[in-house]
Structure 1
Amino acid sequence: MHYTFSQYYIYVIFVAVMAAFSYLNKLNRTEVFSFFMYAIMLLFAVLRIDTGADYSTYIEMHEEAGKSYFTDLFSFTEPLYFLLLKVLYFFSDDYWLMFAVVAIIIYTILFLAVKKLSIDPALSLLLYIIVAYYFISINQLRQSISLVIFLYSISSIIDKKPGKYYLLNIIGFGFHYSAVMAFLIYPIVNTSFSKKTLTIIFILSIVLSPVIEKLFVTYLGELDTLYTKYFDIEEYMEKNYLALGKVIVPNLILIYSLIKFKSFTRYEYSIFMIYFCSIVYYNIFFGKHIFIRPGMYFEIVTILYIPIFIKKFFDLVTGFIIETLIILYYAFSVTLYGILINGGQGVVPYKLIFSR
């Protein structure tokens, strides 16, 4: 669905303000601007009402959980989310409280994660928005909780603490079943790959993509249709700039990273490997709706890798230019066109709680 400018201008202003804070942070390397960004993200989400295609669904879930018994906990696919709803309903049956508390959980964990893991927290928060994850978090609450828990758990990969890593992602699994993907990431990151091996895997992901496409259409097309409407690659590329923006630029970034590949610290290698898995995964399964959500556990690390990519491979001036180009590309192709104008993620129009 297409919307008029008056219906989505608030998002444009929101992104512009966040971008301004990200750039101001470069002039004053403190936590002040990244904290302001966190506060604005939180406020923007908390003050919304009836915003998002799944909004009414979450209201129904809230009411269902409130009227259920604690003994019904494990009859729900995501028991921890049910438990959260049950506790909140005990204090108030107002669904706005539920949306507000979930927003606090998502963006607080996100802020703590980027503060701990990112070499440029302000840029990471901006990327979280323009790569679409903020808009996803407005519409897909359960998985967004799971995703930020995974993001926070990456520090346990770097510190080689598998017990803590798996415990955190078991909690994430309790909020959304797609977190099962996180269980695969630890062993991958802890395997050492040479530049040659990574290059071969990357090339194979491109070469095998049309083969996977044919096999998928032949044997699994109906399964994807059950999940959501299936688009072939040509139609998907033509109609969904969100997909286009998430494929072209990341592949170019990975290609350049492989060309310039040199010694990484454990921190850099861990982030790079998850980013590498993201590109390979989406090259193989591009346009297959049923595989999009699981792939988010690889892709979300984009917000951590881009700052590393810019600092590691470019000087100050060139890095500033590259960063600006990346931001503009995501802001226009993904956020402005893919999400706002083209109605991706079903987040528009935005309504304030005061209109309730």
Structure 2
Amino acid sequence: MFPYFCLLIVTSFCAITEPFYKKQKSIKCILLSCFIVLVLFSGLRYDVGMDYLSYKTWFLSGRGFSEQGFILLTRIFRSLGPTIGFNFFVFIIAAVTLYGAYRFIYKYSSAPLLSLFIFFCFGQYFISTLNLIRQELVIYVFLGCLLPLIIERHFIKYTLCIATCSYFFHYTALILIGIYFLDRHFSAIIKLSGIALITISSPIIIYLIENSDYAVYLKLDIFVAKVTVLQYYLLALSVIIALLYFKCFQGKPMTKKDILFENINYINILFGIMIIMFSNTPIIQVISRLSYYTMPIYIILIPNFISRLSLRSNRLIFRYAFILLYTLIFLVAITTNGKLQHYVPYHSIIF
């Protein structure tokens, strides 16, 4: 657990001292240095994450994946040798994933070091890259490299990139095609109608499942999941962000980027409502995994709204409040679920 605490200390120190750096170039160098450390931490790990040994078994056997492109990649890396090939494979996946996260933060965050800290501390972000490696790679390639294609309206390029990610890494990436159409303004009536539709239809869907041949799955504990405190927190956060968008941009023009991020936040509200409505059913697991594609938006939205505060004292208060909050979230998560999710103890291929 010691390596995680070291990273926590480093990233929190960077986030605390960021307001006192005079040059943006210094912040960029610190951000890049921290991400290099994270790449080494993630890429050189051994048997960290519940899926690590499963991926190694699948890598060596060439089986276990639905995506044919991913099977092809494992064959290419396996030609380097079973051990060296797999280690190199894990390192490259980590490097590409974290490069996407770096680009996302550097390009869109007004406080990159605070974004880095949030990225490290929240379990669905950096820690998940140690486990859900294929989906997390797609998520951060999308956020770091493909968002400009939406803003600049390159539909064919964007669709081809998503299709490539789906073929080589994770089929669920195809849902990201729908994100392309979120760079336009939707009225409050449309958004409230969407929330009402989700709220009303969810009990109907559960009723239909209960009276179908699939009802047996609702009674199996292995498929059932409950709503966690963090999921309630994310829903509350998404609602607060929506209200901040309304307050800050009411009657003011919005850029395509702002509209896109506001609509992604709205999608998170819908995900949050569905997660609560489908609590204690197998559906919650599917919705939770799909929500991973859009939840990282708060890595940049939290710092961006803090930066919009007019008074420096208020900006510092909110910054340090979120640093404290995410420190507590990280400590609780790593101490209660670290061993369960096989994140601790940390092992490396070099020691």
When normalised by structure 1's length, the TM-score is: 0.81
- Asked if structure 2 preserves the Cα contact closer than 8 Å seen for 1:271 and 1:304, the reply is no
Name stretches of at least 5 consecutive residues in structure 2 with no aligned partner.
Answer: 210-214
- Alignment map for 1:1-356 (pairs within 5 Å): 8-28=1-21, 29-30=24-25, 31-65=28-62, 76-94=65-83, 95-132=86-123, 133-151=125-143, 152-174=145-167, 175-187=169-181, 189-194=182-187, 196-197=188-189, 200-201=192-193, 205=195, 211=200, 214-220=203-209, 229-231=223-225, 236-237=226-227, 240-262=228-250, 263=252, 264-286=254-276, 287=279, 288-333=284-329, 335-343=330-338, 346-353=341-348
User: How many equivalent residue pairs?
Assistant: 329
Identify if the C-alpha distance between structure 1 residues 285 and 244 changes in structure 2 by more than 3 Å, giving closer, same or farther: closer
Identify if the C-alpha distance between structure 1 residues 210 and 17 changes in structure 2 by more than 3 Å, giving closer, same or farther: same
- Asked if structure 2 preserves the Cα contact closer than 8 Å seen for 1:339 and 1:345, the reply is no
How far residue 261 of structure 1 moved from its aligned partner, in angstroms, is 3.6
SS in structure 2 of the partner of residue 56 of structure 1: helix
How far residue 311 of structure 1 moved from its aligned partner, in angstroms, is 2.4
- Give the aligned CA root-mean-square deviation in angstroms: 2.9
Residues 109-145 of structure 1: CA deviation (Å, up to 9, x unaligned) = 2222332333333233222222321111001111011
Identify if the C-alpha distance between structure 1 residues 11 and 222 changes in structure 2 by more than 3 Å, giving closer, same or farther: farther
SS in structure 1 of the partner of residue 48 of structure 2: coil
How far residue 293 of structure 1 moved from its aligned partner, in angstroms, is 1.3
Identify if the C-alpha distance between structure 1 residues 167 and 87 changes in structure 2 by more than 3 Å, giving closer, same or farther: same
- Bigger Cα displacement from structure 2, 248-257 vs 85-94: 248-257
How far residue 167 of structure 1 moved from its aligned partner, in angstroms, is 2.1
Q: Percent identity?
A: 19
Taking the aligned partners of 2:99 and 2:343, their CA distance within structure 1 comes to 24
Taking the aligned partners of 1:242 and 1:339, their CA distance within structure 2 comes to 14
- Asked if structure 2 preserves the Cα contact closer than 8 Å seen for 1:51 and 1:349, the reply is yes
When normalised by structure 2's length, the TM-score is: 0.82
Partner residue, 2:212? none
Identify if the C-alpha distance between structure 1 residues 268 and 225 changes in structure 2 by more than 3 Å, giving closer, same or farther: farther
Higher helix share: 1
SS in structure 2 of the partner of residue 297 of structure 1: coil
Q: Which amino acid aligns with 1:125?
A: L
Partner residue, 1:5? none
Identify if the C-alpha distance between structure 1 residues 227 and 316 changes in structure 2 by more than 3 Å, giving closer, same or farther: farther
- Asked if structure 2 preserves the Cα contact closer than 8 Å seen for 1:260 and 1:313, the reply is no
Taking the aligned partners of 1:131 and 1:198, their CA distance within structure 2 comes to 31
